[in-house]
Amino acid sequence: MAGIYIHIPFCNQFCTYCNFYSVKGKALRNSFVAALHREIEDKKLFFHGSGVAPQTVYVGGGTPSLLQASQLGEILSHIKEAFNFIPVEATVEVNPDDITPQYARELFQAGFNRVSMGVQSFHDSHLLWMNRRHSGEQAVQAYRNLRDAGFTNISLDLIFGYGGLSMQQWKENVGKIMELSPEHISAYQMSIEPGSALCKLLEKGEYDLVPDSLCHEQYSVLQQMLAEGGYTQYEISNFARMDSEGNLMISKHNSSYWTKEPYLGLGPAAHSYNGRQRLWNGNSVTAYCRHYTEMPIMTTSKRSLLEFGGYEELTTEDVFNESIMLGLRTVEGVLLSSLDQSLLLEVRGEISRHCRLGNLVMEGDKIRIPSEKLFVSDGIIKDLFI
Ligand code: SF4
């Protein structure tokens, strides 16, 4: 299922652990939206000739909910019209303290049918340390506002594996999120991203890494509690429950990344993939606004690529490694027949070794990482790279 991603590069404050490209840029927001509309026109032939049509839209960031709901609605409408489709899934990422009852209603009326909201923790001391803009109670209220507005597909994010998060507090976070009963839960281990405030704290000796054994224990508790609560794990960090009609509410948009469907990324620093090439936009909002305001619309991405961004041709090895990496992140695993067969021969020995160790399960034409080994998947996956 091909999709379109839109990067909204604004945050009012920066989370301790984050190194995503975003700026405060209050004065730039209207120019950015105008430039984005021009980029949509410029790239509207992206899927032509690829044999696929987009089916999902994901507005992420940054913090999309810093834009007015009407601006987000106009972006979504323009995408539908330019690419000529009705999205089966239109997700917008939001920050809890932006979600007033009115804003939630406006987002729903704008045509979004899925919301992804970063909760991260229900403990206010953790949220303060993470430099989040909201309290645990605000996240609960925002969730209720989204439900009252009509959203029937909500995803909430949690983070584990950071200093100061005890096992008891983690269980409370997982328990609390299950009480809310969102259709989808994502849980990420805190990582030290280069350039993040957390990375600087670590370098100054003001943050201690959490032992891997504790992170592993927290991950196992997460898997166990969510399984008992009726959530199905379908990817390393992602869990979904059934809706009232018996549909498993996975993220259709993100699932397309793992199955290597083409996608178009719009906005500064956004990446695209067309099956043969990886393409990207430059990461400066001011340069982005200048580029798309000044250039004539070409309805082809060629000139944009040369002037604002770049692309690389993917080698057979790149495609093989990406298929292994993305496929083995999913609980389903990867079909061996979908891989380059001569490269597969080179890693057959490693596959057999990991099967003997119980790190991989071979089922017919498929290999997958069993649930109890997903926490150590990075090491297993690297061993299968060319
Ligand atoms: S985690 Fe999200 S809200 Fe926080 S700084 Fe990064 S992009 Fe902004």
Domain with 334 in it: what CATH number?
1.10.10
Would residue 301 count as lying in a domain? no
Q: Are residues 128 and 227 in the same domain?
A: yes
Q: Are residues 50 and 199 in the same domain?
A: yes
| Residue 374, domain extent | 316-383
Q: Is the CB of 327 under 6 A from ligand 1?
A: no
Q: Is the CB of 188 under 6 A from ligand 1?
A: no
Q: What is the pLDDT of residue 303?
A: 57
| Closest C-alpha residue for ligand 1 atom 7 | 62
Domain boundary among 210, 231, 256: 256
Would residue 366 count as lying in a domain? yes
Residues with Cβ within 8 Å of 158's Cβ and at least 6 positions away in sequence, in order, are 119, 120, 121, 173, 174, 177, 185, 186, 187, 188
Residue 257 in tokens: 């990344």
Q: Are residues 169 and 84 in the same domain?
A: yes
Would residue 295 count as lying in a domain? no
Number of domains making up the chain? 2
CB 127 within 8 A of CB 120: yes
The identity of residue 221, as a single letter, is: V
Report the residue among 15, 94, 95, 130 best suited for mutation to probe ligand 1: largest number of ligand atoms under 8 A from its CB.
Answer: 15
| Closest C-alpha residue for ligand 1 atom 5 | 14
Q: What is the pLDDT of residue 50?
A: 82
One digit per residue, the tens of pLDDT, for the chain of length 386 reads 899 999 999 999 999 999 988 899 889 999 999 999 999 999 999 998 888 999 999 999 999 999 999 999 999 999 999 999 999 999 999 999 999 999 999 999 999 999 999 999 999 999 999 999 899 999 999 999 999 999 999 999 999 999 999 999 999 999 999 999 999 999 999 999 999 999 999 999 999 999 999 999 999 999 999 999 999 999 999 999 999 999 999 999 999 988 889 999 999 999 999 888 999 999 899 999 999 887 766 655 555 555 688 999 999 999 999 999 999 999 999 999 999 999 999 999 999 999 999 999 999 999 999 999 999 999 999 999 99
Q: Is the CB of 153 under 6 A from ligand 1?
A: no
Q: How far is the CA of 15 from the centre of ligand 1 (A)?
A: 5
Q: How far is the CA of 362 from the centre of ligand 1 (A)?
A: 38
Q: Are residues 252 and 144 in the same domain?
A: yes
Q: Give Cα separations from 62 to 37, 118, 232 (angstroms).
A: 18, 11, 28
Q: What is the pLDDT of residue 361?
A: 98
Would residue 271 count as lying in a domain? no
| Closest C-alpha residue for ligand 1 atom 2 | 62
Task: Give CA–CA dist 374/365, Å, rounded.
Answer: 20
Q: Are residues 86 and 162 in the same domain?
A: yes
Q: Are residues 321 and 247 in the same domain?
A: no
Would residue 309 count as lying in a domain? no
Q: What is the 3-state secondary structure (H, E, C) of 188-226?
A: EECCCCCCCHHHHHHHCCCCCCCCHHHHHHHHHHHHHHH
Q: What is the pLDDT of residue 83?
A: 96
Q: What is the 3-state secondary structure (H, E, C) of 220-285?
A: HHHHHHHHHCCCEEEECCEEECECCCCCECCCHHHHHHHCCCCEEEECCCCEEECCCEEEEECCCH
Q: Is the CB of 23 under 6 A from ligand 1?
A: no
Q: Are residues 28 and 157 in the same domain?
A: yes
Domain boundary among 256, 276, 307: 256
pTM: predicted TM-score of the whole model, two decimal places: 0.95
Q: What is the pLDDT of residue 20?
A: 84
Domain with 141 in it: what CATH number?
3.20.20.70
